[in-house]
Chain A
Amino acid sequence: MTFGEYTKAARLAVRLTLRAFSRQIGMDPSNWSKIERGVIPPPANDTQTSKIAEILKLSPEQKQELEDLAVVARGELPKNLDDAALLAKMPAFFRALKGREYTAEDLEKLTERIKDLNTP
């Protein structure tokens, strides 16, 4: 299990949404989402890790596990987002509110935004 998977499971266990949890640790939800998805490493800050453990109501053993996973995550190289992985992150459906048709330029712009969400 990765640091991101571990914290997401623990967050759901204490029934905190991404917004509620991010607010409590003082982070932008998009950035915390990137951490949970393993796109960026967890904060290299013991105080922050302790705060995360406290909010997630982790036992001392679980907190140690979290710290170990954080060390591993910080040492990992960023994942390479290949074309197939990027395509999987594109919307499956698009309900354009104004009934518009999307152009190649629209898709290019959207692809860049989604790439940003999935790269450090």
Chain B
Amino acid sequence: MTNPEIWQRVEEYRAQYQPHLNAEKVPLDLLTFVELELGLNIEPLDDLSRDFSADAALIGDFSGFYLDRAIYDRLDIASRSQLNRLRFSLAHELGHYVLHQERYQNSGVSDSESLKEWLNHHSGDKREIEQEANEFAGRLLVPIEVLSSLFEKLAQGLDAIYGPHGWQNWNDLREKTCEHLSQKFGLHTQGISTRLHREGLWPSIY
């Protein structure tokens, strides 16, 4: 699936779940969305993050998501970076839920050995499938119209100070911009950097 195809699926999905996924609702509250709008279960699982290096996972019967219990139990006191990480993890798993149910159903998983093989390799397409879920998550959490609008305003200000071509290669400025936008969208700075790059607004020079 190409990025534009994924973006189209995201925008269709956003339109389907108006107003809950509206652009002006950023940062999106996906935890509430998946429960109250999709009716899916949230099941806290002990040490998911510590022992399996994952904050969230889509349950095989598509009834809901496992979330790391320690994070889930402490949401009220979680740091911004923990919340941002959880938001992205949940958006990523939602990407699997929307894009990849059929892939899993046709995976031939029938026992623990085939499940291990699938979880590690996704029939040889792990990189592609995980990338698709990442792209879904990024586009969902960072609506293009909001990002474009914010970026245009910023670019106008920077043009006025540094001239039209004086700042695009200034990496410190790009990093600071990502940090600033990170708060707006509730996504880690690397995720914002990826959005600026993929959407062709401010490509990374590295």
Residues of chain A having any CB pair with chain B under 8 Å = 8, 12, 15, 17-19, 29-30, 33, 36-37, 83, 87-98, 100-104, 106-111, 113-114, 117
A33 and B57 CA atoms in complex are apart in Å by 17
**20 interchain pairs, CB-CB under 8 A:** A17-B31, A18-B35, A18-B42, A19-B42, A87-B60, A87-B112, A88-B60, A88-B61, A90-B115, A91-B59, A92-B62, A93-B58, A93-B129, A94-B57, A94-B119, A95-B92, A97-B49, A102-B120, A110-B52, A113-B46
Q: Which of A100, A101, A109, A110 has the most CB of B within 10 A?
A: A110
**B67 CB to nearest chain A CB (Å):** 10
Q: Which of B44, B45, B92, B130 contacts A114 (CB 8 A)?
A: B45
**A65: shortest Cβ distance to chain B, in Å?**
20
Contacts of B156 in A (CB 8 A): none
The verdict on B111 contacting chain A, using a C-beta distance below 8 Å, is yes
11 further A-B pairs in the complex, CB-CB below 8 A; given A92-B60, A92-B104? A15-B36, A17-B35, A17-B42, A19-B72, A29-B73, A91-B58, A95-B89, A97-B53, A106-B52, A108-B112, A113-B47
Q: B19-39 vs A: 1/0 string, CB under 8 Å? A: 000000000000110011001
Count how many chain B residues have C-beta atoms less than 8 Å from C-beta atoms of the other chain: 49
A83 surroundings in chain B (CB, below 8 A): 111
Where the two chains meet, the residues of B that have a C-beta atom closer than 8 Å to any C-beta of A are 31-32, 35-36, 39, 41-47, 49, 51-55, 57-62, 66, 69, 72-73, 75, 89, 92-93, 96, 100-101, 104, 109-113, 115-116, 119-120, 122, 129-130, 133
Contact with A30, one of B43, B59, B129 (Cβ below 8 angstroms): B43
- Chain B's nearest CB lies how many Å from the CB of A108? 8
Judge whether A33 and B116 touch: CB under 8 Å: no
Chain B residues with CB below 8 A from A103, complex form: 116
The smallest C-beta distance from B24 to any residue of chain A, in angstroms, reads: 20
Contact status B116-A94, CB under 8 Å: no
Contact of A109 with B51 in the complex, beta carbons under 8 Å: yes
Nearest-Cβ distance from residue B28 to partner chain A, whole angstroms: 15
CA distance A117 to B42 in the complex (A): 12
Neighbouring A residues of B46 by C-beta, 8 Å: 113
Q: For the complex formed, measure the closest distance between the CB of A120 and the CB atoms of chain B, giving whole angstroms.
A: 15
Q: Are A93 and B100 in contact (CB under 8 A)?
A: yes
Shortest Cβ gap from B7 to chain A (Å): 20
Contact A17 B36 (CB under 8 A): yes
A109 to B73 CA separation, bound complex (whole angstroms) = 21
Q: Return A34 CB to nearest CB of chain B, in Å.
A: 9
Name the residue of chain A whose CB is nearest to the CB of B105: A92
Are B61 and A107 in contact (CB-based, < 8 A)? no
Residue pair A97, B55 in contact (C-beta under 8 Å): yes
Q: Are A107 and B35 closer than 8 Å at their CB atoms?
A: no
